[in-house]
Structure formats: C-alpha cells, structure tokens
Amino acid sequence: MHPLSLGIFQNQFTDHFPGDETGNPQPRSTPGMLYSLTTPTPVKSPLLLAWSNDLAAELGIAFPNDSDLQILGGNQITASMKPYAACYAGHQFGHWAGQLGDGRAITLGEWQKPDGGFAELQLKGSGITPYSRGADGRAVLRSSLREYLMSEAMHHLGVPTTRALSLVSTGDGVMRDMFYNGFPEMEPGAIVMRVAPSFLRFGNFEILAARKEIEQLQRLVNWTISRYFPDINGEEKILLWFEEVLKRTAKLMVEWMRVGFVHGVMNTDNMSVLGLTIDYGPFSFLDDYDSNFTPNTTDLPGRRYAFDKQAQVGQWNLGCFAGALAPLVKDAQALVAILENYATTYWRFYYEMMAGKLGLDEVRDDDIAFILEWNKMLDNLHPDMTIFYQLLASMDAPSVEHFNDSFYDALNEDEQLILMKVLTQYHQRINTNHINKVASQEKMKLSNPRFILRNYLLQQAIEFLQNGDDSLFNKLQIAIKSPYSNANDLFFVKRPDWAKQKAGCSMLSCSS
C-alpha cells in the first residue's frame, strides 16, 4: 500500500493527445484540443468524511496521511501528476449542446494498481475549468455524498460503475439554487475522488466528429481500442468495437432495470464507452414500481429519461455515437446494421435477467408474454419493487395477503383479482422448473437486492451530517456492502409517507 502523495502517476492520455497547456482556467472554446491542463483550486480546510477501504485495497493506496488529504481536497499536486479537464460534447435531452467538457472534474492522472492495471483518479468539485461554462466548478456536500455512497452501492450490487475513493468536506461555502427558483443559498462544499479505468464517454468522440477533426478522432479511437479493448483488432476493428460498446450499453441498461435504478440524465456526455454507470446527478432507485418515474425535475414534463425509457434512450445515444464514428468506416450502413441489432441484444439480456428475478430455470417461449404481463401488473399496482420481490421469494402458494406489506396503499377488490391472477400463473410456471425450489430461490436471492440506497435515506444522511451527526451516514456505508443479505433489515421498510413530497427524497434537480 502506497501513500497517494508518494505514488508515481502516469499520464498516457495527455501524453498521446494535443491539449491546451496554458493552464488558463477561464471558460472558453478549445478547438483542436482534447483536454486542458487545469490545477485544482485550493480549499480552506479539507476534512476526510469517508474513505472506501475496499477500493483503496484494490488500488494499493494507503489510508490518507496529512499530505494525502491535501491532494484529496485539491490543495496539492505531486510532480508526477498532470491534472487536466477533458473536452467533450454531447446531446442533452435530445438536442445537440456543442462543447461541454469536465466543468467541475479534474483528472489527476493514471494510478497503477497492484494487478498491473491502471485507474484514472479524478477530483469532482475541485474548482473551475475551461469547461465550467460560467459556473464555479465546485460541488456541494449533498451531491457529493450522494455520488460517493451511490457509486459504491452500485458496485456492491454488481452494476458496472465508476467508483468513489474518498469524500472530503472543503470548509468553504458554495452558492447553489437547489430548486432553480431564484433563491440561492450557501451550502457546505465537498469533493469526491472518483475512480474508473477511463472516464471516456460518447461525447469525447462526438466533439471531434462535429469539429471535423477526423485525424484526431481516428487517433482517439485507435488508442481507446488498443488500451481498453485489446482483444479487438483487424480491418473491421471499429465495427467490432462499436458492437462491443453496444453490448455493454444494453447490458448496463438491463442491470439498471434489475435493481430499479433510474439515472435521470442519460445525455450522451454521460454515457461511458466502457459501459459504466457514470455521472451521478438526480438519480433514484424505484420505491413504488412506476415505469414512468423520473427522478429529475428538469426531465419534466416529457420524462425522456424515465425508468422504462432508459433502454430506448441507450439505443438513441448509441445512434449518436455511431454518427461520430461514421467518418472512420467505409460503409456507414454497417454501423446502422449493428445498431439495428440493439433491441435483440437488449431483450435477450433482459429476459435472462427477469428469469433470475423470478427464479425461473430458463426463458421459454411462453415466458416472454408472461414476463410482460408481470411487468404490467407491477405498473398497475405499484408495489414497493424491492420488498415485493423479496416477498415473492418466500411465497409458498399464491396469496394476496402475503404481499400486503409491499403496497403503499391497500388494494381494492379489482386490484386483488389482478394480483391473484398473475401470482397463480407464476406459481403454475415455477412448478414446471427443472431446478428445485432451493436452486430457484438462490437465483432470486442473487438477482433481487434486499437493501437499496433509497433517496430519503440519502437525504436524511445529508441533513444529519450537516448538523454534525454522522451516525446514519456511517450505517449506510456499511449497509451498501451487503445489499443481498438480511444484515441490514433496519432499512427493509417502505419509503415513509413524509418522504413522498419532501425535497431530495423523491425527485431532484440537476443542481443536486
């Protein structure tokens, strides 16, 4: 284990590509540049609030000493670091937004892990960059705590994700208009150290295509494939790579559906080419099952990024990505053909996932219609998704009463009939399994989390911490590590009534 301050960082990205090396932090357009060298803005008094021991062990990084803490707070860089903000573009809410870039994130460099691999270490909330677009580049405690806990929670759920090594309060206030209602307030600031093999996103390639910087686009594609997809090569490697990104994206969407996660801001600049969940903003898990739920107030009224629309948005975003790659392939129709296979790929992954959630031995032809009927039932009756599936695993025979504790409102007679009909169909199907009940329940246990990091818990942890009470925050750090066990049944409850409309407990703004 090495102290962060004594580690030797590599800088493969900045060494391979042109960047603006002036160090000027003023927001501006940077044509021809894939990044801008940017130094974190010092803060008043960094204080370590959280540290991921699991991730630190994987990285081979020792618990932070005083010098390391200054790095985590953005007050110090070492000689081997070459901090930068990446330049990228994107489609936001379906519209081309032009140059975006790391507006409040600064990558320090690439850290070599004990296994020989590399991880990019990035400070989010560490000050202004050329891509801050007039903002301050800072992050508030509430959004930073949410990202720290949720990215680690998703990792332990088995969902591909960027991760978080540390959460540091800055001692500085940050002005934010949380509700976009013209009444900004000072809030405590914080910085998260984010970790990923790469933070490259669709938008890194889109901006080069849009600017017709085709030579740089070709170099970035070749570098990305050789570094992160080393098994892909040959004359058709770009098509093979796009197909792999498509598969990873489809698989990621399925994983979100499995655990009931809603990203909230699926813009193309928030889509990882590695198939990782990236950029945690106004996200949420489902409490009551609602296919039309979006956690993002900015996404109203259209609900473009609602729970049940995430898969098709993934395909739309892949279409934008394909458009960026089109100048590099001989026949753009080959990209279109791969894209048209997205639905087949997605649904294959999806039905396999649902077989796990339902404890089915396999996906038979008749199961597809039943699964669609099952989802329709959930959407009509709105049970708590997490609790409902846990109760399903312990059901011996069809029974409406068995699921009473999963509903936020008592079912009327017609709703009880709907539930009983579908449960009876399910019971008949499960009895035809070619695996025994124990094996079926084990599949369900591995597919259905018992603990999810609900928004109201996050909001409570934020409020308590701001008042000097870290007890709930500490309990949640423990709970996220074992989401499939009953060790955290203190939290195995429905969202309380008071949280349904409370700010931060259901929907959030992009400022969150």
Q: Where in the sequence numbering do the catalytic residues fall?
A: 269
CA distances from 448 to 157, 257, 355, 408 (A): 9, 11, 11, 20
Q: Provide the CA 6 distance to its chain's centre, in angstroms.
A: 30
Nearest to 99 by CA among 27, 205, 207: 207
The CA-to-CA distance between both ends of the chain, in Å, stands at: 34
| Residue 505: other Cβ atoms inside 10 A | 21
Q: Over the range 153-164, which residues count as b (16 or more CB within 10 Å of their CB) and which as e?
A: bbbbbebbbbbb
How many Å is the maximal CA-CA distance in the chain?
Answer: 70
Amino acid at 19: G
Q: In residues, how long is the chain?
A: 512
Query: Which DSSP helix (H) or strand (E) runs through 246?
Result: helix 237-259
Contacts with 95 (C-beta within 8 Å, 6 or more apart), sequence order: none
| Residue 434: other Cβ atoms inside 10 A | 8
Crossing angle of the two packed helices 310-325 and 202-210, in degrees rounded to 10: 40
What is the C-alpha radius of gyration for the chain, rounded to an integer number of angstroms?
A: 23
Residue 149 CA to residue 151 CA, distance in Å, equals 6
DSSP states of 400-439 = SGGGGGGBSS---HHHHHHHHHHHHHHHHHHTT-SS-HHH
